């Protein structure tokens, strides 16, 4: 076997929360292209199934499922569905994120709702899906954070636009990076690796002023493309990264280094 074989995910079973959204679609594509059987899960089952069906038409083993990180019963039901259909769970990607806060002065209830999903919900989802991995003593957990979990906000990027940097996002994105280290230590005796990916800004036709300012903040002079996350996800999910755990990999074009 050569090194490229270590990147293959043939017959591995992966669950990607928020798999039909922003980065989620590219994460699912990357895992499926590497050979994994992938479940796209979120509260919007229609979006998940539409995306999954398109992937199946291309010949990939991609399926959909309902999962609400705010409801423990739905997490348990999704785990049981995957085990019933596939017999195991090899990879969990905590990608889903709720963005109820838009500005600093939004109602505190929005901050509370954010923590319920982006903190409590992620912990609940991880513990439940890790149960099968612990029994089998094998598994990979990948958390998706953001560069905003390691740096402070640059409010000048948003001047003159509708955009802003709400506080809840910085709070829980930093929290998931720290949780990654905790879980890496907790699950290590069970041969479960836990790592984190912190992407930079994804280009989504944001206001011209924002894009121009953001581009200047990176070494590579551009915002991220969805495709940019595929390689690192496959790497961390595969045996090619078998001696890496507790790590946070920045995928930001140099934003945090400039």
Residue 160 per-residue DSSP state: T
Tokens standing for residue 230: 């595929």
DSSP collapsed to 3 states, 131-154:
HHHHHHCCEEEEEECCHHHCCCCC
For residue 194, the model assigns a pLDDT of: 99
Cβ–Cβ < 8 Å for 202, 255: no
Residue 92 phi/psi, 5-degree rounding, is: -120, 130
Q: Name the CATH topology of 3-154+165-201+226-257.
A: Rossmann fold (3.40.50)
For residue 22, the model assigns a pLDDT of: 86
3-state secondary structure of 94: strand
Q: What is the pLDDT along the chain (258 residues), one digit of tens a residue?
A: 789 999 999 999 999 999 999 899 999 999 999 999 999 999 999 999 999 999 999 999 999 999 999 999 999 999 999 999 999 999 999 999 999 999 999 999 999 999 999 999 999 999 999 999 999 999 999 999 999 999 999 999 999 999 999 999 999 999 999 999 999 999 999 999 999 999 999 999 999 999 999 999 999 999 999 999 999 999 999 999 999 999 999 999 999 999
What beta strand segments (E) does 114-239 contain?
139-144, 192-199
Residue 193 per-residue DSSP state: E
Close Cβ partners of 59 (under 8 Å, ≥ 6 residues apart): none
Q: What letters, b where the CB count within 10 A reaches 16 and e where it falls short, cover 140-163?
A: bbbbbbbbbbbeeeeeebbeeeee
Residue 203 per-residue DSSP state: P
DSSP string, 24-57: HHHHHHHHHHTT-EEEEEES-HHHHHHHHHHHHH
What is the rounded distance in angstroms from the CA atom of residue 27 to the CA atom of residue 192?
20
All structural domains of the chain with their residue ranges:
3-154+165-201+226-257
Tokens standing for residue 65: 């499922």
Picking from 257, 252, 4, 248, the residue whose alpha carbon sits closest to that of residue 142 is 248
Residue 92 per-residue DSSP state: E
Close Cβ partners of 126 (under 8 Å, ≥ 6 residues apart): 92, 94, 141, 183
Cβ–Cβ < 8 Å for 118, 98: yes
For residue 1, the model assigns a pLDDT of: 73
For residue 245, the model assigns a pLDDT of: 98
């Amino acid at each position: 076997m050569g090194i490229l074989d270590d990147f293959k995910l043939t017959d591995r079973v992966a669950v990607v929360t928020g798999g039909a959204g922003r980065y989620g679609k590219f994460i699912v594509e990357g895992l499926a292209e590497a050979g994994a059987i992938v479940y796209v899960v979120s509260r919007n089952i229609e979006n998940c199934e539409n995306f999954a069906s398109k992937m199946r038409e291309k010949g990939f083993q991609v399926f959909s499922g309902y999962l609400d990180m705010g409801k423990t019963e739905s997490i348990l039901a999704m785990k049981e569905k995957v085990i019933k259909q596939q017999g195991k769970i090899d990879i969990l990607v905590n990608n889903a994120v709720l963005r109820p806060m838009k500005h600093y002065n939004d109602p505190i209830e929005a901050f509370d709702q954010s923590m319920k999903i982006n903190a409590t919900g992620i912990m609940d989802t991880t513990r439940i899906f890790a149960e099968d991995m612990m029994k089998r003593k094998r598994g990979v957990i990948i958390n998706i954070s953001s560069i905003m979990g390691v740096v402070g906000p640059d409010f000048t990027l948003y001047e003159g636009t509708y955009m802003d940097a709400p506080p809840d996002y910085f709070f829980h994105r930093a929290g998931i990076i720290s949780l990654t280290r905790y879980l890496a230590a907790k699950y290590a005796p069970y041969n479960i690796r836990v790592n984190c990916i912190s992407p930079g800004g994804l280009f989504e036709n944001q206001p011209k002023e924002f894009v121009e300012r953001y581009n200047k903040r990176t070494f590579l002079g551009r915002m991220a493309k969805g495709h940019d996350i595929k390689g690192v996800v496959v790497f961390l999910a595969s045996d090619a990264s078998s001696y890496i755990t507790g790590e946070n990999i920045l995928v930001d074009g140099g934003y945090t280094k400039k």
